[in-house]
Structure 1
């Protein structure tokens, strides 16, 4: 909202030491803009500033440019995905097989519940410029937490004797690719009559589960 065309709504100034609060507000508004429009180009400095209630230059101490904001949205989304998966696994009980199935369903639920964020996370539109200071290792770390959770769940199944995988880390990548493909197809083929147990049909062979 704004008080006049082109001017931000009034906002109380943060007290000294509360710059982190402003950064969090900028991220929240940027994420809301993405969720509403589905296009990272909607996350402009002017639109973010208007949503927060600040002048656009006030963003620069926290983010270098628009691409830095979008990258931060992606980083936050990956963190949210990891927390989403952990919560699902923790709520699934102690059986490793049940926990793995819960993780797979939660992954697909995240993609369905946050379609715009999910599309941006894996679409590549957020790739930072070469001079952004973001290293290839930092980019690779974005999805590492999710893969680690999948690999840990598969390893637990191996230890319990219900999984024949000889390389849980590699098979975790294969399972993620399968889940990602299903999430994508569900998003674009919404009228297709997907089997009710499609997640299990995908997860069982890709994770080498046995009875």
Structure 2
């Protein structure tokens, strides 16, 4: 289960951060992004995130965030991109652990998908219940395509052709997603 990580230097929440050394702005950018992810994961609606809340969490002035992100929207896009990457890493890990058998790979993907949603509900909600216009990775035609293609590749081994594999992968993804959404605490779906 993923829990909220403490700030890297173990400072208390709302404490002022020490001034970064020259050339150490990348560290601050990562701290801002980590704080925004932690806060978004706690919120019912990621759009309730504010730059001031992120600044408080990191221990900097809100204006410091603008050195790394030109708006709340650009920060939220970075958050969602990082979460897609985290989700993708879990799907790849499931694929690697499953071995070559297509059935085992599909079961592994399904378990990874459901586990991600259960253990990281804020991240899952941010990925699938918000509409931020993300820049697509080079060559992708939709957000999450690389994760989807892992499933298509596994199903291609037991499908008549690529079109059939895409259709099966779509049905599987929709079924998994529907099951996860229906089994949220707000639902009484069995």
TM-score, scaled to structure 1: 0.74
In structure 2, relative to structure 1, the CA distance for the partners of 1:185 and 1:165 (3 Å cut) is: farther
| Contact 2:140–2:146, Cα closer than 8 Å, also in 1 | no
For these two proteins, the number of residue pairs brought into alignment is: 176
What displacement does 1:57 show?
0.8
In structure 2, relative to structure 1, the CA distance for the partners of 1:31 and 1:180 (3 Å cut) is: same
Name the one with the larger helix percent: 1
What displacement does 1:145 show?
1.4
In structure 1, how many angstroms separate the alpha carbons of the residues matched to 2:106 and 2:73? Answer: 35
In structure 2, relative to structure 1, the CA distance for the partners of 1:105 and 1:61 (3 Å cut) is: same
Q: Does 1:185 align with 2:186?
A: no
In structure 2, how many angstroms separate the alpha carbons of the residues matched to 1:38 and 1:147? Answer: 26
| Contact 2:55–2:65, Cα closer than 8 Å, also in 1 | yes
Of 15, 29, 33, which residue of structure 1 is paired with 2:35?
29
Q: Does 1:117 align with 2:118?
A: no
Q: Does 1:151 align with 2:157?
A: no
What displacement does 1:92 show?
2.0
Structure 1 unaligned runs (5+)? Answer: 3-8, 129-133, 194-211
1:15 is aligned to 21
Structure 2 unaligned runs (5+)? Answer: 1-12
SS of aligned partner of 2:177 = helix
Point out 4+ residue stretches in structure 1 off by more than 6 angstroms: 135-139
Larger CA Rg, structure 1 vs 2 = 1
2:159 is aligned to 164
Q: How does 1:1-211 map to 2 (within 5 A)?
A: 1-2=13-14, 9-127=15-133, 134=135, 140-155=141-156, 158=157, 163-166=158-161, 167=163, 168-188=165-185, 191-193=188-190
In structure 2, how many angstroms separate the alpha carbons of the residues matched to 1:138 and 1:188? Answer: 37
| Contact 1:40–1:125, Cα closer than 8 Å, also in 2 | no
In structure 2, relative to structure 1, the CA distance for the partners of 1:139 and 1:38 (3 Å cut) is: farther
TM-score, scaled to structure 2: 0.81
